[in-house]
Each structure stands twice: as structure tokens, then as C-alpha cells.
Amino acid sequence: MKKTTILFMAIIGANSGAALAESIGWQPINSGGTSYDSDDSYNRDSSYESSSGNQYQYNLNKPTDRIRYEHDPSAQIRDKYNPRTNIDRNQGQYGGGIYND
């Protein structure tokens, strides 16, 4: 191979590597606030209080809240390990994502 061909290939290779290393300007977006610590208006409007006074992130009587609850593993874990959730559900109270006091 000629020296000019090798030099040309090296320049193309260096430039294509630099193009791949450039920042794409990606920014994360808020997907609706599934965190129960969030202060957004959705969580305040959608919360649920059982007759025993327990506060929940989701009102599982609403279809939209049921869908959000299904995709919120932290809320499900809070319910799984909190005995107050089972007490409420045995009384027909359907909140999801109990807030820890």
C-alpha cells in the first residue's frame, strides 16, 4: 500500500471515531412521578385514605391508578411488607403504595 492511502485511511478512521464520541444532548424526562416522595399534583389528587386512617399513594378503585400501581415496584414492596395493608384490604379498602409513618 502507498503511504498516502494509509494516511487517508488513518484520517478517516480518526474522524469517524471522533464523531461517535460526540455528546448527543440526551436529557432524562419526568415520566409522571411514580415516586411517593414526589410533591407533584398528581400524587396529591390521586392519594387514598382508608377508613382506618392509612394514607396510600394510589386509589386502586380508579383504573388509571391500578395501571400506575402495577408499574411501581416500590409501592408494591411497601404494601407487601406492611401488615396495615392487609388489614385494610380485608375490610374492602383498596389503596396501593402505603406511606410509611
User: Which residues, 6+ apart, have CB-to-CB distance to 52 below 8 Å?
Assistant: 84, 87, 88, 91, 93
**pLDDT at 38 (0 to 100):** 45
User: Which residues, 6+ apart, have CB-to-CB distance to 53 below 8 Å?
Assistant: none
What pTM does this model have? 0.56
Q: Give the H/E segment covering residue 57.
A: strand 55-59
pLDDT exceeds 80 at position 19: no
Percent with pLDDT over 70 in the chain: 54
Rounded to an integer, what distance in angstroms lies between the CA atom of residue 55 and that of residue 96? 9
For residue range 23-69, list pLDDT tens digits in order: 666 666 555 544 444 444 444 567 899 999 999 999 999 999 999 99
24 vs 80, more confident: 80
Under the banding of pLDDT at 50, 70 and 90, the label for residue 77 is: very high
Averaged pLDDT score across all residues of the chain: 77
